[in-house]
Amino acid sequence: ALKRGLLENDTREKLISLMADLNKTASETMQNYPVNACTDVSGFGLLGHLLEMARASKVEVNLFSDKVPVIKNVKKFVTANIIPGGTLNNLDYVSEFVEWPDNFSESNKIILADAQTSGGLLISVPQAYTNKLVNELKTKGVHDASVIGEVINKKKGKIIVY
């Protein structure tokens, strides 16, 4: 949508600000915590990068889809079929490793697999530190910081979406 000039000014400005500032503050802040794993969400989308972390760590992850920060109007663009080229490939690749709720929409699946230019950091910390890290990030201006999932057991890498 950005490349096609379809974003409203406020959405475009927020997107540019997120891409410019998000990772710097988060990467500096996470240095104060016992990080298990971290990756920048980019071309493989959130699901691709989360799957990479889950498989490397041999864990299963619950993903709370309603907690994933999504930029305003994204769903509108997805339903209008304005989708980055790699996104559908991402979704196809992760599908065998993801359990979806029965009523989960195709557009929401696409959003979770969206190929990003700069989508922020996916940081795994022990549960005892999640709220403290998120609160510190928000205090430092990363207002979209959120706990989006949890590691539930040591099994073959898999994602369960809620």
Query: What pTM was estimated for this model as a whole?
Result: 0.85
Distance CA 102, CA 89 (A): 22
Asked if residue 21 has pLDDT above 80, the reply is no
Model pLDDT for residues 29-49, shown as the tens digit of each residue? 999 999 999 999 989 999 999
151 backbone dihedrals φ, ψ, rounded to 5°: -80, 130
Domain 9-161 CATH (choose: 3.90.650.10, 3.30.390.10, 3.55.50.30, 3.30.70.870): 3.90.650.10
Show me where the domains of the chain are located: 9-161
Q: Give the CA radius of gyration of the chain.
A: 15
